[in-house]
Structure formats: C-alpha cells, structure tokens
Amino acid sequence: MRVALLLILSILATSAQAEPLRVFASVLPIKTFVEKVGGEHVDARSMVRPGYSPHTYEPTPQQIAALASTRLYVRSGLPFEEAWMPRIRSANPSMEVLDARSGMALRTLEAHDHGDEAHGHDHHHHHGHEKDRHGHAHAADEPDPHLWTSPALATRIAERIRDRLSALDPANAADYARNYRAFAAELAALDGEIHALLDPLEHRRFMVFHPAWGYFADSYGLTQVPIEREGKEPGAKALAALIEQARREGVRVVFVQPQFDTRLAARIAEAIGGGVVAVDPLAADYADNLRAVAQQFAEALRR
C-alpha cells in the first residue's frame, strides 16, 4: 500500500517536472532573461519573433493558441502590446501577466525638436510603423519601453521574473534563486566591461535611427540623437538640421537596427561622409550582443 502510494507520488512528481512552465515574453532579450532564471523548468517563447519590429508586430493565430497553456506573460509596454494586450489576456484569463516596467523609473523618449512637422506623410512609413490610436508609434512624452538595453535594469527584470516564477512554482524556488544569482553576476561583469570601454570616451553623443538605446545611454553617460522621433522620419528641414548637427559634432557613424528600414540613415551617413552600422537591441544572445554593441559605440565615438 505504502509502496504503491510512493510510486504514485513519484510518478506525479516526475510528470510535474517533465512539464515545464510555459512563459511568453514580449521580446527575445526578455525571453532570454526568463530562460536564464527558469532554466530547465521553463518553456520560454518570445511574442515578437526574430526579425520583426515590436512596434508593428501582430501575434500569429498559433501564438494566440499557445497562450491557452501559458502560465506567465512578461510584457514591457511596447507599442504592439498596447494594441494587443486585451486579446492576449482574453486568450487565457488565468495566465499571469508580469509588467517588466512596474516599479521602475521610466525615462521619456527624446523630445520632439524637429524643425518642421512630418505629419500626414505616411507614405514614408515604409519601415512599417503602424499608427496606434494616438496617431504614432512612439510619442515624445511617452515612457521609453526599451528597458532591457541597460544591464542594471535587465538585472531588475530578472529579479521580478525570479519572484514570479518562484510564486508560480515554489518547488523549484531554490533553482530560480540560484539561476538568478548566476545571471546577476554575469550582468554585473558585463556592466563593468562596458564601463571600462565607454567611460574614457570624450565624445558621448551618438546618432541612431530608432531611439532604442536610451536606457543604455543613461547607464553609461551617453546621449542618443535619434533620427526618428515619435515614430516618424524627419521632414526635409529636420533632416537638414540633423545633418548639420552631425557635421558640427563630427559624427561619422549612424546606427541602425536590423528591424527597420535603413535608407534614410544611409542618406544621412552619405551626407556627412560616414557610414551606417547595425546594432541590434532585440538579439537573443543578450550579454554577447550588448558587449559587441558597446564596442561598436566605442569605436564610433573614439575620434
């Protein structure tokens, strides 16, 4: 009798272990954080698939169906989520939602200081920015959703993931705590490396097409100068002002990200006799990618 009971219990325990917790994250870097903390106990997926823009992303029917067996969704306030959260929640009302932004001091996106207005020129939106109900993808007074580009904030997101996974799955809380500590140490080392690379730089402003690097810039005392504001490309007058500013500051590199059209950035780079360099804020290999990005920034600013 007792043996049979133990057998049943051990079968139950084994089947519980064999069924990892399904977690959806809005973007690949946050999926990586979930995997770092959750290890073998989670089946982590990214809602925005590789190569897609988080500004215009539309979940597939398969992804919506997969939400039915999902225990946790980690959101980060990206434009696609503003539009899709009601449907994501209603696909599985018992799924928990963790907002990566909760309790964090959010920066606002770079102020709109274009010399002219680009409103009404939607044919320029060939990079696929979808208008939300406010009429643009990122408003200047909107909180910046690209939290994860700072290793310090990535650590805090990982901490929240640890807490939520531990609450959902207390049996493995010790593993989540241990995995978190290892990941936090990895991020602290990365942070030190990036400081060593960027702290000595004299020039501290870099030009970027889409303003995804604000938290990274804040962490290391840099300033991003975005070409795109409020999700729009600049008009002719603003473009001329940006080129003038770039010349004045000796900018030689315009940073772009693979998910956006790079033609306008290439035109600016050509006008200043510089080049375009791609850096990806959405890479899945978080630490290695951020180290490479920091090297690219250092190279562009060392002059």
* Contact residues for Zn ion, defined by CB under 5 A: 212
Nearer to Zn ion, 212 or 254 (CB): 212
Q: Would you tell me how many other CB atoms lie within 10 Å of the CB of residue 152?
A: 12
42's enclosing H/E stretch is strand 42-46
Least separation, in Å, of the C-beta of 281 and Zn ion? 8
Least separation, in Å, of the C-beta of 105 and Zn ion? 19
Q: How far apart are CA 134 and CA 230, in angstroms?
A: 10
Residue type for 136, please? H
Helices (H), 19-101: 28-38, 61-66, 79-91
Least separation, in Å, of the C-beta of 55 and Zn ion? 6
Q: Is 76 exposed, middle or buried (0-12, 13-18, 19+ CB in 10 A)?
A: buried
Least separation, in Å, of the C-beta of 10 and Zn ion? 48
Is the Cβ–Cβ distance between 228 and 112 less than 8 Å?
Answer: no
Backbone phi and psi for residue 106, each to the nearest 5 degrees, phi listed first = -90, 140
Least separation, in Å, of the C-beta of 210 and Zn ion? 5
Is the Cβ–Cβ distance between 44 and 38 less than 8 Å?
Answer: yes
Least separation, in Å, of the C-beta of 149 and Zn ion? 10
**DSSP symbol at 231:** T
Least separation, in Å, of the C-beta of 148 and Zn ion? 11
Nearer to Zn ion, 148 or 183 (CB): 148
Q: Name the residue among 266, 211, 210, 214 with its Cα closest to residue 243.
A: 266
- C-alpha distances in angstroms, 100 versus 160, 164, 201, 293? 7, 11, 31, 23
Nearer to Zn ion, 50 or 170 (CB): 50
Nearer to Zn ion, 112 or 252 (CB): 112
| Minimal CB distance residue for Zn ion | 212
Distance between first and last Cα of the chain: 78
What's the full length of the chain, in residues? 303
